[in-house]
Structures are given as C-alpha cells and as structure tokens.
Amino acid sequence: MNKIFAITGVINYAAVVFLNAFTDLGHKIIIQNTIFKVYDGDIQIVLTAIVNALVLFPFILIFSPSGFLADKFPKNKIMQHSALFAVVITLGITYAYYQGWFYTAFFMTFLLALQSAIYGPAKYGYIKELVGVKYITAGNGVVQATTTVAILSGIIFYTVLFEGMFDNSLTTKEDILKVIAPLGWLLVVSSLIEWFLTFKLPDKMQYASQQHFRPEQYIKGAYLRKNLKIMTRKKEIYEAIIALSLFWSISQVVLAIFGEYAKSALGITNTVFVQGVMALAGIGIVVGSIMAANFSKYFINTGLVAIGSFTITVIVFCIPFISSLSVMAFMFIIFGIAAGLFIVPLNAHIQFLAPRVHLGTIIAGSNFIQNIFMFGFLVLTTLFAFFGMNSVFLFYLMGLVGLYLSVMVFKRYGVMTFWAIMELISKTRHIYNYVGLENIPQTKGVLLLGNHVSWMDWIIIQLPMKRRINFLMDKEIYSWRFFHPLFKIGEAIPVSQKASKDAFKEAFNRLQKGNIVALYPEGAISKDGQLGEFYRGYELIAQNYDGVIVPYFIEGVFGSMFSKYKPKRVKNFLRRRKINVYFGEAISKDTKAEKLRHIILNLKEKNEIK
C-alpha cells in the first residue's frame, strides 16, 4: 500500500479529500450537538434525521448534472471550483452562527452538501485516473481511510470544542450558536486550505464526453432515465450499488438513533461520549479499509463483502442488549472494521467495471441510488419516531435489513467469500510472497503443475489468483460427506485409479474453456520435503487446447502443522511462517514428466540463490 503514495498527486489528493469531509462533518456536528442539548426523545430523533436528510437530498437532486460535469471536464478542476464554493458557504454559515440564526445555519447544511454532491463523482472518478487499475483497490482504501479519519477527527475536534464552549446556563439554540460562533472560522480556514491544495492536483483526463447538457432535458427527467439506463446496463454494477445503498441506509439510521438511545437507555448526556463512541466506528473503518487493500493486493477481493455484511448485521442486532459503554465502544470499532471490508472492494469493483467514458455518470448514479435509499430510510425513521416507535425497535428493523443484505451479497460473491475466509484464516499463520505471477496467462487454459508438501497447497496457490483453479483431487477425499458440497461448488475434479481417463477428459474440457487446472505430479504429499518422482498422468490430458503449462514451487510450508513431517523442535507458535511461491515461465503442453521435474528443481535453486 505504501507504493501508492509515491504516485504524483496522491498525497495532495488525500489531503483535499480529508479537508472536504472534515469541513462538511464539522458543521453537521455543531448542528447535531445543538439539537442534542436542546431537545429530547422523539423530537431529537426527528430533527437529527432531518439534518441527515438535508445532507443526502442534494445527491438525489443533481445526479445528472454532477455526472455530466465529471465526464465532461477535468475532475481536478471540478474539485477546485467546488472547494471555492465551500469557502463562500462556510463564510455564510459563520455569519449565521454569530447572528444566532439556527434555522438558517440548519438549512445551510443543504448548501454545503450541494457542493459535496457536485464534488463526489469527480472525487471518486479521479481515483482510477490518478492511480490506474493496478492500484484501484488501494486507492479506494486510501480515500475511504482518509475520509473516515476526517470524519473521526471532525467528530472529536468539533465536539470537544463545542463542549468546552458550552455552558449549562444556555437553554436556547440561538444562544448556543452565538457562543460557539468562533468555530465557524475553523470551517472557513479548512475550506481555504482545501481550495489551495486543489490547484496542486494533476490533470489526468484522457478524453472527455462529447455530449452537451440541456437544462430542459434535465427538467423533463430525460437525463435521469438515460443515466439510470447506463448505470443498470451491467447487472453486477447495479447490484453492487444496491448493496452499498442498503449498507449506508443501515448506517445512517444507526447514527441517527444512537444519540437518543444513549441518552434514554444508557443515561449519557455528554456529547463527547456519544459522538466519541460513534467516532470509534471511524477507527474501525480505517483498519478495515487497510485490511481490504492488503487482501486485494492481487485482485479486487469481493469475498470480503459478505464477511463485512454478516458482521455488521450481528452487531446491529446486539446493540440493544448492551448496557456497558466500553462494550458498546468495542462493538462500534468492529462495526467500522466490517464496514471497511464491505465498502472498499465494492467501490473499487464498480470503478473497475465502469467504462471510462461513463465513469462519472455511473459514480453519480451510485451516489443517487445510495442517497435515495438513505433519504427514504431516514424518512421512515422520522415517521416511526413520530408515531412513538423507540430506538430499540429501529435497531431490530435495521438488523433485518442487514440480514437481507447478507443473503444478497452471499448469492453474488459466495465462492469468493469462501476463499476470503480461507485467506483470513491462513494469514493468521503465514506470510505469503508470490514471485512470477505475471507468467500465468489471463485468458488461456493453464495447467498448473508443482510440488506437493502440505494439506494447504491448494489454498496457497489459489490465494493470489482471481481466476478459480479447478483441482484434480482424490475421489475418496472428494466424496467426504461434509466437504463434498464445497468441493463441488469449487469445481474440483475427482480422480481415481479406476476412472483416471474420465478425470483427464474432464480436465481437458476445462482447459479448452480457458480454465486453470491444477494437479500434483508427485501424486502425494512429500514426507521429506524433497521433490519426489513425477508420475506421467498429466501427459494423458489431450493437448489440442489453447494453453500452456506453468510450473511452480512452494517453499517454507514443509515442517508446519499442515505437512506430514513434524520437526522435534517446534517453532514459536505466535510467529508466522513465511511461505514463498515461485511461478516459472510458461512451457509447452507436451513437456514430459522428467523434464518438468528438472524445470521445477531449477526453479527452486534459481530463487534460493536470489
């Protein structure tokens, strides 16, 4: 992940993203804390929900114009002009604070959100242009972590200052605003610094949309229909957007009702504690975003999505049963980690699948759908609160939504989820280093042949590859009662001495389709760690397919708890074992067993010398 910061413009871009979120959040926190001090119960939930709705509504209102701007003009210039707009708005907000105009400041939240809505598609679309496809997940991880740190910093910073300036003698919202008015200048200064830094962002636009914006078409809804059609053209993009929309809806409702829950159920009246607990989710998101980037080192790891969703659902169901503030704080950190695992791969996946010419429109469309969902959920929250439904009921309701979301993403990313779990487990014991992955063709059929030293080999060679490997495996193991369904989903090929021809025929069919097929020429796990005799079984696979053999050698796992050899001197259990996997250059399909063995031996020796 460190390599991404060496790219020109990334550090300035991260600073701009930080300041934009920090400023927007600062004003929102000031308004929410004022509401918290003045109102209780249902009115508090309703007003908090309205504040959040004012933040969301602009993203719905200007979906088409913001997408058009991001596709038509350089994204760094859009961020530049939006930052200037923020300077003007924060000056107006500061004036409203000094005058004690609560409702003016309250509704200026809409204007601040409006500049973010214009800014959003350019900000996220700029990731792909700035860092390229290779670092797209890491780029999203940086943006998500930076945004979250900004939110976390904003919550703590402005809440601590708010509490420090607040006096219990203040009873009206107007008086509170006048006392905390100097905080407005901090919003202005942040906006000015952000505006200055946008001038240092490089122009990365390769080509712009040739379309022209016609206001009458926008008013009639023609752009909306057209852009929604573009966005839904790829089902996988649309499903990812819906998943993100449900997640953010759950999060919005949880944040909107937690203040009232903390006050009524936990007896907390200090905003530092309330906002601080919620801010801990931000720390979690930073950790989760970094984890998502690390687990997506070789490809966008969408398997993390279902893990994140399931964890979020469990936590939302658990919150009403927690009476300890420290336990609640811990749960919000875990919520944040799960959120990072969920958000980062999905955003990267959308950007990766979106055609460059429509990238701004699709990101704007994603914002549009997400904010429609969040706005709708907040309206429902307001109605439920108005009719007397308490926060506990709303937590359970959000848990049910989370359950639906978990089922939805598991259906789409089920196989990837299995491998993500395997990676999470295996990385607790191992550190992996892969050399020569570029030798594996991305489209042709590939026959992977290498040494066999542990029960973990099949996991080890699959982890860095997005393409699923079809393993040939012993039929008796394939038929194990509890594991058979998993082997079947994983498209393993059962092989036995009596039916080896059928297995090799099926392997050929898979290779013809451009799949990766793997088997172990040694036929069994090595008992001494040395490369044993190679059997010629793989030579029986027909060779009239478009593909190659890729040899590999696994080093470092022999002697572990997963190998057949157990050393007398056991290594420190807490120390992770380093595993090296070397992939050689592609070789001809007709390579014989003895020559293949010699190539793999040389592969081992060559890398050991290095």
Comparing CA positions, the residue from 339, 356, 23 lying closest to residue 187 is 23
pLDDT band for 557, please (50, 70, 90 cuts): confident
Domain membership of residue 59 (yes or no) is yes
Residue range 452-472: mean pLDDT, rounded: 89
Residue 32 in any domain: the answer is yes
Q: pLDDT band for position 509 (50/70/90)?
A: very high
Per the rule left: phi > 0, alpha: psi between -120 and 50, beta: everything else, 159 is alpha
**Between 40 and 100, the higher pLDDT residue:** 100
- E-assigned strands of 115-222? none
Confirm if 91 and 187 have CB atoms less than 8 A apart.
Answer: no
Tell me which of 194-203, 262-271, 349-358 is least confident. Answer: 262-271
Same domain? For 332 and 441 the reply is no
Looking at the structure, do residues 450 and 413 belong to the same domain, yes or no? no
245's CB contacts (< 8 A; 6+ apart) are 369, 370, 372, 373, 374
What is the pLDDT of the chain when averaged over all its residues? 84
For residue 364, is it within any domain? yes
Is the same domain home to 83 and 175?
yes
Is the pLDDT confidence value at 559 over 70? yes
Q: Is the pLDDT of residue 35 over 80?
A: yes
Q: What is the DSSP string of 287-330?
A: HHHHHHHHTTSSS--THHHHHHHHHHHHHHHHGGG---HHHHHH
Q: How would residue 93 be classed by pLDDT, with cut points 50, 70 and 90? A: very high
Compute, in degrees rounded to 10, the torsion defined by CA atoms 114, 116, 118, 119.
160
Tokens matching residue 511: 């290779």
Tell me: do 225 and 209 sit in the same domain.
yes
Q: Tell me if 574 is assigned to some domain.
A: yes
Q: Which of 364, 398, 426 is the last residue of a domain?
A: 426
The pair phi, psi for residue 283, each rounded to 5°, is -60, -40
CB 322 within 8 A of CB 328: yes
Same domain, 68 and 136: yes
Amino acid at 31: I
User: Do 441 and 327 fall within a single domain?
Assistant: no
Report CA torsion sign: 34, 36, 41, 46. positive
**604-608, Cβ contacts within 8 angstroms, sequence gap of 24 or more:** 604/531, 604/553, 604/555, 606/582, 607/435, 607/553, 607/555, 607/580, 607/582, 608/555
Mean pLDDT of 141-157: 81
- What is the pLDDT averaged over residues 370-376? 82
Q: Are residues 321 and 414 in the same domain?
A: yes
Residue 234 within any structural domain of the chain: yes
> Taking residues 218-233, what's their average pLDDT?
72
Q: Which CATH number goes with the domain that contains 290?
A: 1.20.1250.20
Residues 375 and 497 in one domain: no
Q: What is the four-CA torsion angle of 123, 128, 131, 135, rounded to 10 degrees?
A: 120
CA separation for the pair 583, 551 (Å, rounded):
6
Q: Are strands 493-495 and 516-519 parallel, antiparallel or unpaired?
A: unpaired
Cβ atoms of 144 and 289 closer than 8 Å: yes
pTM, two decimal places: 0.73
The residue with tokens 């036995």 is 496
* Mean local confidence (pLDDT), 12-19: 90
Degrees to nearest 5, angle at CA 242 with 237 and 243: 95
* Residue 397 pLDDT greater than 60, yes or no: yes
Give the burial class of 577: count Cβ atoms within 10 A of its Cβ; 0-12 exposed, 13-18 middle, 19 or more buried: middle
Query: Does residue 4 fall inside a structural domain?
Result: no
Q: How many angstroms separate the CA atoms of 49 and 584, rounded?
A: 58
51: confidence class by pLDDT, cuts 50, 70, 90? confident
Determine the straight-line distance between the first and last CA of the chain, rounded to whole angstroms.
Answer: 24
The verdict on residue 580 lying in a domain is yes
The sign of the torsion formed by the CA atoms of 152, 158, 164, 166 equals: negative
Q: What is the dihedral of CA 62, 66, 68, 73, to 10 degrees?
A: 150
Three-class secondary structure of residue 235 per DSSP: helix
Asked if residue 569 is part of any domain, the answer here is: yes
Quote the number of domains for the chain. Answer: 2
pLDDT attached to residue 28? 86
Whether 103 and 235 map to the same domain: the answer is yes
pLDDT value at position 221? 67
Name residue 227's amino acid: N
Predicted confidence (pLDDT) per residue in 239-278, tens digit: 999 999 999 889 888 877 887 777 777 777 776 777 778 7
Last residue of a domain, one of 393, 426, 459: 426
Contact assessment for residue 292 and residue 304, using Cβ atoms and an 8 Å cutoff:
yes
Pair 412, 513 in one domain: no
Q: 520 with 402, same domain?
A: no
pLDDT at 245: 92
- Last-in-domain residue among 383, 405, 426: 426
Structural domain for 54, as ranges: 9-426
Q: How confident is the model at residue 312 (pLDDT cuts 50, 70, 90)?
A: very high
Are 487 and 365 contained in the same domain? no
pLDDT value at 6 more than 80: no
CATH code (residue 605):
3.40.1130.10
